[in-house]
Amino acid sequence: MAKILVATEKPFAPAAIEGIKKLTEEAGYEFALLEKYTDKSELLDAVKDATALIVRSDKITLEVVNAAPELKIVVRAGAGFDNVDLETTKERGIVVMNTPGQNANAVAELVLGMMVYGARNQFNGKPGTELKGKRLGIQAYGNVGKNVARIAKGFGMEVCAFDPFVDAKDIEADGVKAVEKVEDLYSNCEYVSLHIPALPATINSINYTLTSLMPKGGTLINTARKEVIHEEDLEKILRNRPDFSYISDIAPDNAEELKKEFEGRVFFTPKKMGAQTGEANVNAGLAAAKQIIGYLKDGDETFRVNK
Ligand code: 3PG
């Protein structure tokens, strides 16, 4: 019997697991669960008879693929699939999918929560500022960016977005100003929120040239990927601009040094938690299970990312 394995180092909420198990068994497949694993060997062992795999940010490398001779499909329950080796899976004929949009609201709510936290001096009791009337620049207007815009408008912020892959008309239809150049986002906005994937073109792309354009009191918010930040340049802007703040859901390698040197101006969540809500886990987990069943039963390749 085909086995659907949920292998997540960072576990889903129990309701998501129950839902995935139910869908799997009703479809006539076996359900297996490996969560909170601490060593890669546990993953390598668990995948050895898996037909399908549901993961989060878990790294699906050549080694994992080689350990999984039965594997037909991997679904990354979430948006970014930079953790899955697309070439190796493609060569082996393994389909890879993501579940776009399913955890977008959770990430977007965290963005605004972190912005309030920053604006209120990390809740230290000193007078802070309000978000109302401030300008927010959204870099990449996908599912998360769109939700960030919706919520930020509720706060009374002026929202603009840069996304060369989205028609300006579609951005403007949401009451968001579309900017043509990424530099304009940085030079005009007190807040910039990153929603770009980690790709060769975006890795290290958020550098000193861009961040130094931000107006006085500028805050950069990163709930996207650690890799898009040029970490040396981040240190440089924090050092050269005592008014600049950086808030991130993905701590940089030198997080501890930055926290010491720039106390009150940087904040990092202890573990990436943008998508860590019961609702997002249920949405993304169940979508992943349904996509696997759709593929195994009907060959449905909607949401495939390694064509
Ligand atoms: C995503 O790409 O969907 C988010 O970064 C969430 O990642 P996570 O499932 O590891 O929390």
> Given this model, what pLDDT does residue 208 score?
98
> Given this model, what pLDDT does residue 306 score?
97
ipTM: 0.98
> Given this model, what pLDDT does residue 19 score?
98
Nearest Cα to Cα of residue 267 among 117, 106, 124: 117
The protein residue whose alpha carbon is closest to atom 11 in ligand 1 is 275
- Where do the structural domains in the chain lie, given as residue ranges? 3-102+276-298, 104-268
Ligand 1: centre distance to CA 104 (Å): 9
Atom of ligand 1 nearest to the CA of 98: 3
What tens digit of pLDDT does each residue of 112-127 get? 999 999 999 999 999 9
Buried b / exposed e along 159-171 (16+ C-beta atoms within 10 A): bbbbbeebebeeb
What tens digit of pLDDT does each residue of 224-283 get? 999 999 999 999 999 999 999 999 999 999 999 999 999 999 999 999 999 999 999 999
> Given this model, what pLDDT does residue 17 score?
98
What tens digit of pLDDT does each residue of 277-300 get? 999 999 999 999 999 999 999 999
What does the mean pLDDT of the chain come to?
A: 98
Rounded to whole angstroms, how far apart are CA atoms 241 and 239? 6
Q: Do domains 3-102+276-298 and 104-268 have the same CATH topology?
A: yes
Atom of ligand 1 nearest to the CA of 223: 5
> Given this model, what pLDDT does residue 117 score?
98
Q: Are 238 and 258 in contact (CB under 8 A)?
A: yes
Atom of ligand 1 nearest to the CA of 276: 11
Q: CATH number for 3-102+276-298: choose from 3.30.460.10, 3.40.50.720, 3.40.720.10, 3.30.300.180.
A: 3.40.50.720
The protein residue whose alpha carbon is closest to atom 6 in ligand 1 is 275
The protein residue whose alpha carbon is closest to atom 10 in ligand 1 is 57
pLDDT band at 153 (very low <50, low <70, confident <90, very high): very high
Please give all residues whose beta carbon lies within 6 A of any atom in ligand 1, as ranges. Answer: 10, 56-57, 78-80, 103, 272, 274-276
Nearest Cα to Cα of residue 254 among 262, 264, 242, 244: 262
Ligand 1: centre distance to CA 100 (Å): 11
Q: CATH number for 104-268: choose from 1.10.1760.20, 3.40.50.720, 3.40.50.2300, 3.20.20.80.
A: 3.40.50.720
Question: In this structure, how many other beta carbons lie within 10 angstroms of the beta carbon of residue 242?
Answer: 9
pLDDT (mean) for 73-90: 98
Rounded to whole angstroms, how far apart are CA atoms 152 and 159? 7
What tens digit of pLDDT does each residue of 156-185 get? 999 999 999 999 999 999 999 999 999 999
> Given this model, what pLDDT does residue 210 score?
98
